[in-house]
Structure 1
Amino acid sequence: MNDTPDELVRRPPTLEDYLHLRAASGLTPKSPAQGEDALAGSWRWSVVQRDGRAVAMGRVIGDGGWYFHVADMATLPEHQGRGLGRRVLADLLAQIDEVAPAGAYVTLMADAPGRRLYASMGFVETAPESLGMRLAH
């Protein structure tokens, strides 16, 4: 790595970077068509770039009024452990705070590697009152 500083931007990564970040960080790989829809259909983005390439990212989907879901939190393995995930999440939460009314509902699905980060930023488990579910195909 060189000494170029990381830059936080509030725009989506390129399709190539999005697909690479998902796969390289251990998230389920997606097709280019799925990636294009994710890039276009997100409410907000926070991306850390180094030398013009995305090395960490996260996005928010939702209605922009009261429901916000944090998704696609990912950091390239060689950039993990440097606080980039925390930086991305803090920026996404700041973007929500800028527009959300009191009582806004902010959710995420916490995979094991990110749980400590999410808890440290105020997220709590919802079970047993509520349990995340997905449609099995």
Structure 2
Amino acid sequence: MRHYKRDTREDYFEQFGDDENFDAAYKKMRRIKGFYSHLRIYVIVNIIIIITNLNRDWFGRGADLYESGLLDWHTYSTALFWGIGLFFHALSVFGENLFFGQEWQEKKIQKYMDKERSKLKK
């Protein structure tokens, strides 16, 4: 797999040369890809952990909702703490513009300006 990655990078390198913009874009792409891999693993592992905890408790203690593990802290604690780490990973990859970034602000400003223009034309 690493050989394929190296060949792919070398193909792009031949096309773009020693371009700093390409290097920055390539690094950004790798960071985004790493985040989505982390997210995928987070979802898969936590689904397995939660189902395992619920099944263990369900068969072990009976079918009562409160005794089944559905409301137990340990069933969801891994997902919670790992989710906090995943949130900070998202911030490090996407930056501070994750929620209300510059692009979002520009779209909202444009939307309100268009709305005001349409009111003035009437």
Larger Rg: 2
* Higher percent of residues as helix: 2
TM-score range, shorter chain: under 0.3
TM-score, normalised to structure 1, is 0.24
> How high is the TM-score relative to the length of structure 2?
0.26
